[in-house]
């Protein structure tokens, strides 16, 4: 058969469906191929159609099987591309939006005074950062995170209270679903290697962690103190780096605990100066 005829034998969705149906009915590749040849298909085209169709189908099935169901996530009201959002006691600026993964960079989330107050209250309570250890459900020092940090209790002081109410309104997510605010301090050389903020469903400690509030479904990282160089928040899957500008914040959400959310992110090494952030992680349900 010449190449002109081959070109006319397009692999249509109907043909793909027929091939998958035959395979599911238990016919071997040989039988399906013979059947295609008998109805006039060129052998090369038929073999190629079968290979690509069945491979794509198997991948689709694997992805479907491995993916947890999506859950509702916090959503700032940005459908109509507003420049500003009313966060109750403050007009927050919408600086940049990414659709997939859902990322919003905000400006004017905190005043300079609020940033200073949070840093001053956190400084005497800093300790080398721990991360939740999903193998056991406990906490451990993590070599991927060379910052030091502390947690505020929810509503612990007036600035924390005001900020938590502001974030709940900005992100349309109940205050009670938020973990306590975490403050992190990075010196030059300190970084937070790329990671996902959700708890890995395959780790044995995760079911224990999830009993309190369910999965994390969103993160907002707020910049309290800006380094002169380095220290951006990076999203390697989409080659994005958010500048750690004081008073600004980056928000992102993940509707399933899976890398397909493309929410891998990290804190790039600080090169010069100091970086201070406040992170609020948002859970599916009340976090008590």
Chain residues in the site for ligand PD2 (CB under 6 A): 184, 192, 197, 219, 221, 233, 265-267, 277, 279
Of 263, 259, 230, the C-alpha closest to 244 is: 230
Name which of ligand PD2, Zn ion, none residue 233 binds, using a CB cut-off of 5 to 8 Å depending on partner kind: ligand PD2
DSSP letters of 123-147?
A: GGG-EE-EEE-TTTSSEEE-TTB--
DSSP summary character for residue 287: -
Shortest Å, Cβ 248 to Zn ion: 16
Of 57 and 246, CB closest to ligand PD2: 246
Please report how close the Cβ of residue 60 comes to ligand PD2 at its closest, in angstroms. Answer: 32
Q: Which lies closer to Zn ion via its Cβ, residue 92 or residue 221?
A: 221
Q: How far is the CB of 193 from ligand PD2 (least distance, A)?
A: 9
Neighbour count for residue 39 (Cβ, 10 Å): 8
Taking CB positions, which residue lies at the least distance from Zn ion?
197
CB of 267 to ligand PD2, least distance (A): 3
Backbone phi and psi for residue 187, each to the nearest 5 degrees, phi listed first: -90, 170
- State yes or no: residue 197 binds Zn ion (CB under 5 A): yes
Mark the segment that binds Zn ion (CB under 5 A) among 9-17, 18-26, 183-191, 197-205.
197-205
CB of 33 or CB of 268, closer to ligand PD2: 268
Considering the complex, state which of residue 42 and residue 197 has its C-beta at the smaller distance from ligand PD2: 197
Q: What's the token pair of residue 232?
A: 């951006």
- Is 169:100 a contact under the CB 8 Å cutoff? no
* Residue 131, both tokens: 């991360």
- Compute how many other C-beta atoms are within 10 angstroms of the C-beta atom of residue 257: 21
- Whole-angstrom Cα distance, residue 188 to residue 186? 7
**Residues contributing to the site for Zn ion (CB under 5 A):** 197
């Amino acid at each position: 058969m010449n190449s002109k005829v081959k070109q006319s034998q397009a692999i249509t969705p109907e043909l793909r469906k027929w091939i998958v149906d035959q395979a599911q009915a238990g016919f071997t590749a040989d039988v399906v191929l013979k059947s295609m040849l008998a109805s006039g298909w060129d052998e090369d085209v038929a073999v190629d159609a079968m290979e690509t169709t069945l491979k794509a189908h198997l991948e689709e099935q694997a992805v479907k099987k491995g993916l947890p169901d999506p859950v509702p996530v916090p959503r700032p009201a940005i459908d109509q591309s507003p420049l500003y959002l009313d966060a109750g006691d403050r007009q927050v600026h919408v600086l940049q939006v990414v659709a997939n993964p859902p990322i919003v960079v905000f400006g004017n989330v905190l005043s300079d005074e609020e940033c200073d107050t949070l840093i001053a209250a956190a400084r005497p309570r800093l300790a080398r950062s721990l991360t939740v250890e999903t193998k056991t459900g406990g906490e451990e020092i993590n070599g991927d995170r060379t910052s030091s940090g502390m947690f505020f209790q929810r509503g612990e002081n007036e600035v924390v209270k005001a900020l938590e109410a502001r974030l709940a309104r900005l992100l349309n997510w109940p205050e009670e679903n938020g973990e306590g605010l975490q403050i992190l301090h990075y010196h030059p050389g300190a970084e937070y290697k790329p990671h996902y903020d959700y708890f890995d469903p395959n780790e044995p400690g995760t079911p224990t962690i999830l009993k309190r509030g369910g999965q994390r479904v969103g993160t907002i990282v707020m910049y309290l103190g800006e380094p002169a160089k380095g220290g951006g928040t990076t999203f390697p899957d989409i080659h994005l780096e958010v500048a750690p500008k004081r008073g600004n914040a980056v928000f992102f959400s993940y509707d399933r605990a899976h890398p397909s959310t493309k929410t891998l992110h990290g804190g790039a090494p600080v090169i010069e100066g100091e970086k201070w952030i406040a992170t609020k992680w948002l859970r599916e349900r009340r976090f008590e």
